[in-house]
A and B are shown apart, each in its own frame.
Chain A
Amino acid sequence: MIGELITLLITSVLLNNAVLNQFLGLCPFMGVSRKKSSALGMGVAVVFVIVAAGIVTYGLYHLVLVPLNLEFMDLVTFILVIASLVQLTEMFLKKSSPALYKSLGVYLPLITTNCVVLNVCLVNISNGYDIAHMLVYTIGTPLGFALVLYIFSCIRERLEVADVPQCFKGNPIALIVAGLMAMAFSGLAGII
């Protein structure tokens, strides 16, 4: 059981990475990764929102939707829960910790339309995870996202001063870098 959970953790962080293998969360990935500080802020915010949203949606699905035979309402429920949690988190940050709000509050509304969050909620259900697996997956996936986002922002800061062909400047060369990162990470497949 512990071995299974550790495998799931390593898989969700490195081997089945949300950005590089599952192609999720690319819009903020391209947008927020120009500076290391904003990447770090976004990463922490995403971890927090996904953990909260994953647990709440899992609970809601199994305790409310399944007993009432309302499984078809999963999509609408999840997106509303995610959006509400983002609002709640922003309010909480505004009131309790201005310093935290300053560093990552601006990215919170962006997370509502982040594919990773909705994907984690949906996969928790469709893969039929029990609570332990759900917790590991819900914590591992955003950690993988944050890790790759941070590494990517470090590379992109260097790219700004590199000599890139005119038509590749900006996003295209960043995407090629992402592809090379995907190739590098796929080499880690031998870990398990």
Chain B
Amino acid sequence: MNRMQNFKNGLIKDNPVFGLYLGLCSTLAITTSINNAIGMGVAVIFVLILSNMIISAIRKLVPDEIRIPVYIVIIATLVKIIQMLIQAYAPALDSSLGVFIPLIVVNCIILGRAEAFASKNGVLDSALDGVGMGLGYLLAVLSMSVIRQLLSTGVLSMTNPFNEAQVLFSLRLIPEDFTISMFSSPLGAFMTFACLAAGLTAYKLHVQKKEAAAKAAANSQEAAK
């Protein structure tokens, strides 16, 4: 029960990108297309799950003082492995994500979860937490890239990452003359992110108000009895 609640929180309410403002660099930089978003999201999920599991498995062996250095080394090794795999099997993804694959090492989400959760909980719990946070990240980058790609090119499209020539789907929703190319520039990235983050804050405030009203109603009922 608690696990499912944590999982659901990680998706929307405590979304690592829009709620906790972690992993901002990669979110803003790569969300120009759906391909990039899904590729990066999957890479981050992989690294999160594996790093959480490894760190949780060795948590009793690592002396407390040097845990941060050890975590950094583990995460760096995992990211290098993932980078080499991407370079080998999906080179198109590698050239479009560029330097942001190695920069997963310093993505605040991964080290943060490792220190906060994986160092204190079992292997299976940590893996599930990795999945939850990773899916939250994937949801965030996917929503940003859908908006940005749609408004800046008018087309929602995705190509097979393993085979660049194969187009999986391509829908033109906005005619070519009405595209706003601002959204592929830094200005558009910042604006989209700010609006989505404000949207999440508005949703959270709304939920808080409802809960407070319900609590006040329950209290006044009790007082009336």
Contact = CB atoms under 8 A, between A and B. Distances in A.
Nearest to A30: B21
Interface of B: 21-22, 24-26, 28-29, 69, 72-73, 76-77, 79-80, 83-84, 99, 102-103, 105-106, 108, 111, 185-191, 193-195, 197-199, 201-202, 205
Contacts, number: 112
Determine chain B's interface SS by DSSP, over half rule.
Answer: helix
Given A23-B186, A26-B24, A123 B194 contact: no
Nearest to A185: B186
Interface of A: 20-27, 30, 72-73, 75-76, 79-80, 83, 112-115, 118-119, 122-123, 126, 165-169, 171-173, 175-176, 178-180, 182-183, 186
A167 B19 CA distance: 12
B21 A180 contact: no
B186 A21 contact: yes
A175 B76 contact: no
Nearest to B199: A167
B99 A122 contact: yes
B28 A23 contact: yes
Contacts of A123: 99
A180 B25 contact: no
Contacts of B199: 167
B194 A24 contact: no
B197 A20 contact: no
